[in-house]
Structure 1
Amino acid sequence: ALVVAGRVWSSTACYERALECAQFGSDEAIEGLASFKLGTARLEVGDLEGALALQWRYLEISQRFADLKGEAASRAVLSKIYQRLGDKRAAIEELDILRNVAEHAGEIITAADACLDLAVLTYQEDEVEAAKLLEGYYQLSRRAADRGRQGSAAVLIGLASGRTMMHHVAKVFEEGRGIYELLKWKDAPLIEGLHDDV
């Protein structure tokens, strides 16, 4: 929150005001950033339709200015919105575009995370492709010199390499338990009991 002349402004109110000013001044660059920030704030409070419209506006402006980083940021949020709306197909489409745009923009971590999210969302339709996406997650994490993600990716690939494990790997992420839950199972004796624990 921001306090101006004794009045408390929420972040949403500040972004709304910034958006109004940008539109009034016909400044599309500022309008795009304000749309992104306001859309992200609306997503956080559960206004999915409002967030969706704002992120699409930011995407449109980013593409007009050939701003790949802006496009990557908007597509990352769009994929989250579509997942929350239950539109898995649209979320997958956004993530698929995101991994390429982010890589071209030099946002290697964002591209890596898109691969991981795609693997989780697509494993039911194609476990082989999901395993390839995990390999992409590993390779991009390595390029970014992110040892934490690289180690996590290696564990995920190891767990999913038998393909029968991919379902369990994805389920852990869907339930929000994350990589640390999988790290507990990295030793062979523990993996044998995975079917009972998940």
Structure 2
Amino acid sequence: ITQICLWEMHLREPLCKMTTLPPLPVIRPKLTSLARKKLPCSPSTIPRSQLIKEKDDIDHYLEVNFKGLSKEEVAAYRNSYKKNICVDMLRDGYHKSFTELFALMKKWDALQETARVRSLSWLQRPLEEQPDKLDHFYHYLTRAEAAERKEYFEDVYNNLYALACYFNNSEDKWVRNHFYERCFKIAQLIKIDGGKKEAEAHAHMGLLFEEEGQLLEAAEHYEAFHQLTEGRIWKDETGRFLSLLACESLLRTYKLLSDKMLENKEYKQAIRILIKASEIAKEGSDKKMEGEASYYLGLAHLAAGEYETALTVFNTYSKISTDLDDDLSLGRAYEAIAKVLQSQGEMTEAIKYLKKVVKIARKNFQSLDVVRASTMLGAIYNEKGYYNKASEYFQQAFDTTAELTNLRQMDETKVHYGIAKAHQIMPRVNNYIESADLTSLDFLLSWKESRSKIACEPTIGNTANIGTFLPF
């Protein structure tokens, strides 16, 4: 009894994120308790002749070992566990619970059949072979129905939400979503908590739609979640304010929506929704979240070609990152600023910021950031004709990808490095060709044979400081 009371108190706590439930303190009804002793249940595909033989064996066993058993008790041994659960629900008067469970079982079977027809890898076992799940269905559905009869809607919500938590896994997510929807409908009837359960239900529905890729619907629920929690001090089970979680959920959804808009070159719509996200982030009083919103907004302005505005927003992001002493965010801010400066043709300033990015990335062992910034530096130097510097940074990028054993990036940086080395050696080759003497021709032929090094001829121009290797 103590365990059950503690469990009820746990269900009444603010619930916003999925949690791992403790073992279920189930008090099983008569048929279920008897049927549980003979698990696992017999498969439904057993031949009729075998079933008849098993029935006769059971009758004989019961006659010899158990005198005076009732028909119900005999049925508990004969029937499947799933059937006994359903019979118990009907016998105890929980007709709505039976109807809901029966509908879920039909959908369960339909999904399995669809997977079988399409030769999909359906890893889930039949419900008949999972008595623990059937126990949870019986326990919480009947408790929810009993509470609903008394109009204790908060208890109804808690029991349905407990089922949603229990089925929060990859194979049962559709069951979880069913109970999310049930919780949402019940939450509208709860009037004694100031709207807290309704706010939580909107958060769950937002997550449901977000996972299904229906971002507009998700945004609507998250907006309702945000409005209901605004100015409230409600917390979830981890102690986090629900208002902050609402801001984070909205920011995440607005970011996903803006990404799709930017892909379709709908720059004004993307900027508009990210401005809204930035305002919401400021309400959350979380500087890191505010910085993230500024970063996304700056990228949208950059994509739209609004360079001055983008630069202003990115500078705000870099200031927030500096105040938070967040090196990784600061490196990202500097890289974004460098992209804007590069788009404006201010290469010298862009180089300064990219060198800062490389320094920060190396300090924090962010190899991918090193590759990206080094590649950008190499491209700028290559474009300006500083081939020695270009080769240096492209080689730095290539060496880093080699350490990471990232084959795709290795191939990409190898091409950049090869092009830079070709540009680097080209002036010397041109000088040899233009000299048109026997010595120069010998140097060229020697290089053609080895393809590794080209000799340096002191008498030819200012080519001594140019690189000597080709990467092919």
TM-score (ref. length: structure 2): 0.33
Instruction: Pick from 27, 34, 46 the counterpart of residue 249 of structure 2.
Output: 34
1:61 offset after TM fit, Å? 4.2
1:148 and 1:5, CA in 2 relative to 1: closer, same or farther beyond 3 A? closer
Q: Distance in 1 between matches of 2:380 and 2:411?
A: 15
Contact kept? 1:36, 1:58, Cα under 8 Å: yes
8 Å contact from structure 1 (residues 18, 34) kept in 2: yes
Structure number with higher relative contact order (C-alpha < 8 Å, ≥ 6 residues apart): 1
Given the alignment of the two structures, is residue 82 of structure 1 paired with residue 301 of structure 2, yes or no?
A: yes
Quickly say closer, same or farther: Cα 1:163–1:33, change in 2 above 3 A: same
- For residue 278 of structure 2, give the secondary structure of its aligned residue in structure 1: helix
CA deviation string 1:21-52 (max 9, x = no partner)? 22133254244223312211211221654543
Cα displacement (A) at 1:73: 0.8
Mapped contact 1:95–1:118 kept (Cα < 8 A): yes
Separation (CA, whole Å) in 2 of partners of 1:157 and 1:181: 15
Gaps of 5+ in 2: 1-172, 182-207, 232-242, 391-408, 427-472
Farther off after superposition, 37-46 or 106-115: 106-115
1:87-166 matches, within 5 Å, as: 87-123=306-342, 124-154=344-374, 156-157=376-377, 160=380, 164=384
Identity rate of aligned residues, in percent?
13
Instruction: Write the distance in 2 (CA, Å) between the matches of 1:88 and 1:30.
Output: 32
Given the alignment of the two structures, is residue 55 of structure 1 paired with residue 284 of structure 2, yes or no? no
Given residue 24 of structure 1, which amino acid in structure 2 is its aligned partner?
L
TM-superposition CA deviations, 1:139-180 (whole Å, max 9, x none): 2212322133235434544554588159xx9xxxxxxxx997
> How far 1:116 sits from its partner (Å)?
1.9
Q: Is the Cα–Cα contact under 8 Å of residues 19 and 34 in structure 1 kept in the other structure? A: no
Question: Does the aligned pair in 2 maintain the 1:155–1:183 contact within 8 Å?
Answer: no
Aligned residue-pair number:
183
Aligned to 2:415: 184
Deviation string 1:62-84 (CA, Å, 9 cap, x unpaired) is 44554221111101110122123
Deviations 1:92-127 (A, max 9, x none): 221222223224334422321222222222134422
Identify the residue that residue 457 of structure 2 maps to in structure 1: none
SS of residue in 2 equivalent to 1:72 = helix
The 8 Å contact of residues 69 and 107 in structure 1, kept in 2 or not, is answered as no
Contact 1:134 1:153 in 2 (8 A): yes
User: CA shift at 1:189, angstroms?
Assistant: 2.3
Kindly indicate whether the alpha-carbon contact (under 8 Å) linking 1:51 and 1:81 is maintained by their aligned counterparts in 2.
yes
Structure 1 residue 132, shift from structure 2 partner: 0.5
Larger Rg over CA atoms: 2
